[in-house]
A and B are shown apart, each in its own frame.
Chain A
Amino acid sequence: MAKDPRETRIEDLPGPKSKEELEEMKMPYEEYCKAQFDPGNEFSKPQSLKGIRWLSTTMYIFTPHSVSNLAELGADVIKVEMPRMGDPMRHCAPFNETYLYPLHDSRPMTGTGMGYLNANPNEYHITMDYHLPEMKEAFYSLVKMSDGLTECYRPGTFDRWNQSFRFLQEMNPRFIYVWGGGFGYGPKCFGGSYDILGQAHAGLASVTGMHEYMGGHPLKHSNWCIDWYSGTQITFGILAAIHWRRKTGLGTMIEFSQVQAATRCLGYAAPLYGRFGIVRQRWGNWDTQLCAHGIILCGKSDFPDAENPQDRLEARYAMVSAFQDEDWKELCAITGMKDLMDKYKSNNERAEGEAQIEIYAALEKWAEDKSRGEVCKTLQDAGLLAEPVCNDREYYEDEHWRMRGTVRWMDDPIFGDILQHGTYASGLLSKTPRRLFWIWRPVGADNVKIYHELLGYPTKTIEEWYEKAWL
């Protein structure tokens, strides 16, 4: 407000203040979004977590991803790996086919498998055999100058090496310490875990896949989804702890069980069992609560002549959704399911098991002589919701994701031309967007940068440690 309340100033009035603002207010919503997020210009904007430094003594996918989220949001991250070998995930590639070279100079024939991708972007990669007493000083120095650490060793391992939370807290009371693993304290404390174990053990597999009478078995979510999803939930714990530390100046320790995170997303399974004793089962490509709302098999592929079998054989599935009564009526009218329209009037009636079986069988019968594209187009033209089940190539080629900047090519400083679908896809921010500097670095690539430039060790010492394989 102006000092004199009688004075009217343009900036105190509601509405646009300049020609540019007026234009912005009139802009169609979509253009406005595009201008706000402005994909491709991330580097002209600041970073959300500027100034946070995190240590990552992690392996595989789950715990690395809890840190990669921070690194994409602007935290400085130091990833510590075992000398020469690196993270075991570096030795993992789909069907053993896809590697980027080199792992590091002394192993010219070994590469880093694509399995490592997206889990450790933007980080400085150093090596350290930190359980050696000789390396303790360097490790503790890093702890003193960092905000937190994520580790994934078997419980008690870091404690034996005098570097668990109860030791580090004394050196740095602001320290946020994360242990991520399979189970956490309790009878199965020392049980090892992987993504797939979480899916199996925690109930997710029991509700995914075709039902037994359809010929199916419990099914795994594609690759390591639960590792990634659980890692993201750790990030949430870390960010909340950082906010609390802003107020109190105190750190914390978070003990996070990846297996448990898979139980967390089971929705009504726990309350339904707890109250009624009903055990949730798998229900294939349909929905347990909505109908029609499922994926159907169409008669023909959209790309019958393609060379790639995924295009040629698999472009046959369409998601059809018409669970509201008007949509359902329209769907029945188009597909000639008049009798079913009269038989099942409400979503609750349609969602009954027997009804679903009958409805989807009729839909697949209707789609028997059609391609996926024809099915979708017919229903879309009638104003209904139907979309193809797309594959990776189709995702890559879709203009939508390119416009949003969530699929893009990047010129990696060490590894060259990489198609990238991580980082930008995890959320758009108009003022402090996520961004990607590099996909990963060779094992020990930043040893000089960290040990020499940050911790001040002479290069001669670093070389000596390297020769002894302490680094």
Chain B
Amino acid sequence: MCDIIWCKKDFEGKPCNTINYLDPYCFWNWEGTINCAECGAVYYIHMIQGKMYRGPEDRPGEKPDTSPLYADKPLEGYRFYGAGIPDRTRPFECLPRHIYLGVPDMVKFSIRNRPVRGWRPQAPDGGIAGSYQFNWDLKRLSPDVYEEYQQKIKNGEVTEW
């Protein structure tokens, strides 16, 4: 065992088989208890310079000091628990927004409500050998977004800053 904890406790009638990842900067020098993201078993670990100096030792019934950020189950198609699932993983607070997508954000309007080409697919508009002109004919290429924009103008939602 090292800086992953592969939990093999019996859980709901079969081995838990969950890997709890102890991320390097947080746990490089660390002592305390941590729970398994799947079965909730609590382990005591003492890591010095990335090595398990003591543990993982079972600490049944104790309240864990912390949780992993990430855990997955290789035997079940890598089903995983990402950051911030209550009682399983610890939250990742330092994020750019209150939500976290991890996939492309389909944006049609900038924060001042003017059209920006941030969504897919886009209607083809190229000429010879992939050439493009120097304008974006929104009305012709994306009439629905054009309409939405006209509505925004009417509603006074389009601002300077």
Contacts and interface: CB of A to CB of B under 8 A. Distances in A.
Asked if A and B touch directly (CB within 8 angstroms), the answer is: yes
Interface of A: 93-102, 104-106, 108-111, 127, 217, 307-310, 313-314, 397, 402, 409, 411, 413-419, 438, 441-449, 451, 459, 462-463, 465-466, 471
Contact of A415 (B101, B103, B136): B136
A415 B96 CA distance: 23
Given A310-B96, A418-B110, A448 B127 contact: yes
Contacts of A310: 94-96
B116 A444 contact: no
Contact of B136 (A109, A110, A414, A462): A414
A308 B97 contact: yes
A190 to B, nearest CB: 29
B128 A459 contact: yes
Given A111-B120, A416-B136, A217 B25 contact: yes
Given A102-B120, A416-B110, A93 B104 contact: yes
A442 B132 contact: yes
Interface residues of B, number: 43
B117 A444 contact: no
A95 B128 contact: no
A466 B104 CA distance: 29
A413 B136 contact: yes
6 contacts: A97-B104, A102-B122, A104-B130, A413-B133, A414-B134, A465-B129
B130 A409 contact: no
Nearest to A415: B117
A466 B129 contact: yes
B116 A416 contact: yes
A462 B129 contact: yes
Contacts of B122: 101-102, 108
A96 B25 contact: no
Contact of A97 (B105, B115, B131): B105
A111 B25 CA distance: 33
Contact of A441 (B98, B118, B124, B132): B132
Given A409-B112, A416-B114, A417-B114, A101 B119 contact: yes
Contact of B129 (A109, A415, A444): A444
Interface string B123-161: 011111111111110100000000000000000000011
A448 B129 contact: yes
Contacts of B114: 409, 411, 416-417
A316 to B, nearest CB: 13
A214 B26 CA distance: 14
B118 A99 contact: yes
A416 B96 contact: no
User: Which of A417, A438, A445 counts the most B-chain CB atoms under 10 A from its CB?
Assistant: A417
| Chain A to chain B: the 6 pairs with minimum beta-carbon distance, closest first | A444-B130, A417-B114, A445-B132, A466-B129, A108-B121, A105-B126
A63 B42 CA distance: 51
B13 interface: no
B129 A416 contact: no
Nearest to B116: A416
A417 B110 contact: yes
A417 B112 contact: yes
Contacts of A100: 116-118
Contacts of B109: 417
Given A416-B138, A448-B128, A462-B129, 9 more contacts: A98-B105, A99-B104, A99-B120, A105-B125, A108-B120, A397-B161, A409-B110, A411-B114, A459-B128
Contact of A442 (B93, B98, B120, B130): B130
A413 B135 contact: yes
Contacts of A442: 126, 130, 132
A164 to B, nearest CB: 28
Contacts of A108: 120-122, 124
Contacts of A463: 128-129
Contacts of B105: 97-98
Contacts of A419: 110-111
Interface in B72-97: 93-97
Contacts of B130: 104-106, 127, 442-445, 447, 466, 471
The residue among A104, A411, A463, A465 with the most chain B CB atoms within 10 A of its own CB is: A104
